[in-house]
Every structure is written in structure tokens, then in C-alpha cells.
Amino acid sequence: MERKLEALQEEALEKIASARDLAELEQLQVEFLGKNGKVTGVLRGMGRLDPEERPKVGKKANQVKEIIEKELEARLQILKADQEKQRLQEEAIDITLPGKPLQGGRIHPMQLIIEQLEDMFLRMGFSIEEGPDVETDYYNFEALNIPENHPARDMQDTFYVEGGLLLRTHTSPVQVRTMEKQTPPIRMITSGKCYRVDELDATHSPVFHQLEGLVIDRGITFSHLKGVLIAVTREIFGAGREVRFRPSYFPFTEPSAEVDVSCFKCQGQGCSLCSRTGWLEILGAGMVNPRVLEMSGIDAERFTGFAFGMGLDRMAMYKYEIEDIRHLWDNDLRFLKQF
């Protein structure tokens, strides 16, 4: 019996020493020490031994069991360490290799101009308001003194959507929404997309951006309007670029004006970009028509105001000397990386 145990020990140690992985080791544990294992079998057969033999064999069997257990544990540690080493080797990173260059994003010129203008108007005490892109006929036209069949509706060819709604043709409806909500003094700006059935060309896009401004208080005059717009255009375009006010017509302002800056391409000499005029139009403005004030619940006897609507795409084009509005929408990285 004792010799059998020794033989089992020898066999187990040999097999343990040559076990190549954890699964093999687990199998050996079952083979020798499991419930039906070889060593366990010997211990079970002790009942058939002479009583004086039993303690000796029992002791030997326990020794063999302990030795096998110890060897299993030692081999387990070695195999685990080998496995870890192999994993580290497989996952090794060569830290001397050069990294991939990070592609930094740039701010879109449209966003640059919006941020610069918002910053300027906030410094002058204006608030920033918002309005919906999908508007009602009332806010886009009616409340701005553009009744049905008014020729001014043709100036802003409109995209209509279901339910009698439309895509706003300008940001002026936000003026009306603000006048309805706030009481004078009002100093607000708003910016966002506008939509018109306009043919796409170098200076027109069916979707474009405007920044609207409105000031209402006692004693507001056209001089205030000029002062604000000259300050803003100077800061955006620099003192070197000329700015001019030209009489114009909008049903919601009286008197009305349009503002042009001198053409960056021909320095005011006249070229194809400025239709040989030397000037580029950037915005419409004027003193708010008293009818518009009254329709929005503001007493036109006590208060006057001015408003303006800047074409932001055009402002960005003329500031950054971009000759075609489509560059602002194409998202060509070669173009965008310049800002």
C-alpha cells in the first residue's frame, strides 16, 4: 500500500511538472485528489487493511496528499506568472513610435462673426433673444406692416410649410415677439437662419443668416441708429473700409436705409463682385414704423425705436474676403482650416 502511494506521488509530481496550462493542472487535481481521485481511492480502501497497518498508511496517504497539493499550488503560481508575462509581451506598446498628429478643429467663419457681434452688442447692454425658424404669417409679415398682396411680399419669396406656416424670410419676427413680451426700454439682438426662394449664386443662398437688432426707448432717433451701426461696422471691418447709408424702403421702418461697405476686391473701383458699384450691401435698417409699435402694444406717442437686420453670411464674406457664399456652406476642410 505504501509503495503504491509512493508510486502515485511520483506519477503525480512528474505530470504536474510537465503540465503546460491551468486547465491541465486542474485535471491533475481531479485525477489525484478529486472525489474519485487516485489518492482518495487509496484512503477509501484503508478499511480493508489490518488495524495496526491503518495509522501508518493513513499518515503516508496524508503526506502524499499534502505533497501533491503543494506541488499543484507551486506549479499554478509558475503557470500564472508565465501567462501574465506572455500577455504583457503580446500587449507591449512601443512608446518610441511617433504618435498620430491630432487634428485640431477650427471655428467656422459664420460662428466667428456671430460671436464677435454678440460680444459687441452685449457690451452695449443688448440682450440676446430667440425665435422659431418656422413662423406664422402674422409674425413674419402681418405684424411688420406687410399685409397680404403687399408688393413687399415678393421681395421675400417664401417657403410655405403645412398648416399655413412658413419658414421665416428674415429675423424681424423676433422683434415683434420681443415687443409683445417686454416693455420699453428694449435693447435686443437675435440671430439665426432665414429662408427665401432665392437662386443660389455668389452672394445669395436660399438659407442664410441674419442678426436682427431692436432698440426702443424715449427719444431714440436716427442718429442713435447711425452711431450703433457705424461703431459695429468699424469694429468688424476696420477703419480702413468705407461705410455708407443709402435711403431704402421697408414697410416696417420709416425712414429706412441700407448700409454698404466698400468692396474689398476692387477697393471701391468697381468689379464683378460688387456689380461695378464699388459697394457691397450688408444690412437693412430704419426707425420702427409707429404702426408696428402700436400693433405690438407699445405706445408710439411715448416711444420711438430703431431696428436693423444684418446679412451675416455677407458680413463674413466681406470681412474674410470670401468671394462666393457657397464656400460658407460646402464644408471643404481646405477652406475651413484657414480660420
Residues that bind ligand FA5 (CB under 6 A): 170, 172, 196, 198, 204-205, 208, 210, 212, 250, 253, 281-286, 307-309, 311, 313-314
| Least Cβ distance, residue 268 to ligand FA5 (angstroms) | 18
Nearer to ligand FA5, 9 or 156 (CB): 156
DSSP annotation of 48 reads G
Q: Of the two residues 135 and 212, which places its CB atom closer to ligand FA5 in the complex?
A: 212
Q: How far is the CB of 195 from ligand FA5 (least distance, A)?
A: 9
Burial of 5 (0-12, 13-18, 19+ CB in 10 A): buried
Point out which residues pair with 192 in neighbouring strands: 210
Instruction: State the minimum distance, in angstroms, from the CB of residue 157 to ligand FA5.
Output: 10
Complex with ligand FA5: residue 5 or 174, whichever CB lies closer: 174
CA–CA–CA angle 160, 166, 170 (5° rounding): 120
Length in residues, the chain: 339
Whichever of 135 and 313 has its CB closer to ligand FA5, that residue is 313
Beta bridge mates, 135:
166
User: Minimum CB separation from ligand FA5 for residue 258, in Å?
Assistant: 6
122: cell is 452685449
Smallest distance, ligand FA5 to C-beta of residue 204, A? 4
Contact criterion met (CB below 8 Å) for 273 and 285: no
DSSP 21: S
CA distance 158 to 53: 110
What is the distance between the alpha carbons of residues 250 and 15, in angstroms, rounded to a whole number? 98
Q: Could you tell me if 182 and 300 are in contact, meaning their C-beta atoms sit under 8 angstroms apart?
A: no
Cell of 62: 496524508
Looking up cell 446679412 gives: 311
Residue (46 or 329) nearer to ligand FA5, CB: 329
- CB closer to ligand FA5, 25 vs 176: 176
Using the minimum distance from each CB to ligand FA5, give the nearer residue, 75 or 170.
Answer: 170
Instruction: Write out the DSSP string of 142-202.
Output: GGGT--TT-THHHHT---EETTTEEE-SSSTHHHHHHHHH--SSEEEEEEEEEE------S
- Closer CB to ligand FA5, residue 12 or residue 174? 174
Pick between residue 210 and residue 262 the one whose CB is nearest to ligand FA5: 210
Helical ranges in the chain per DSSP H:
2-18, 22-33, 38-44, 54-90, 109-123, 137-140, 152-155, 173-181, 222-237, 290-295, 312-320, 327-330, 333-336
> How near is the Cβ of 259 to ligand FA5 at its closest, in Å?
8
The Cα–Cα gap between 167 and 159 comes to 6
Q: Least distance to ligand FA5 from the beta carbon of 315, Å?
A: 7
Please report how close the Cβ of residue 94 comes to ligand FA5 at its closest, in angstroms. 53
Closest residue (Cβ) to ligand FA5? 311
- Residue 149 Cβ, how far from ligand FA5 at the closest point, in Å? 19
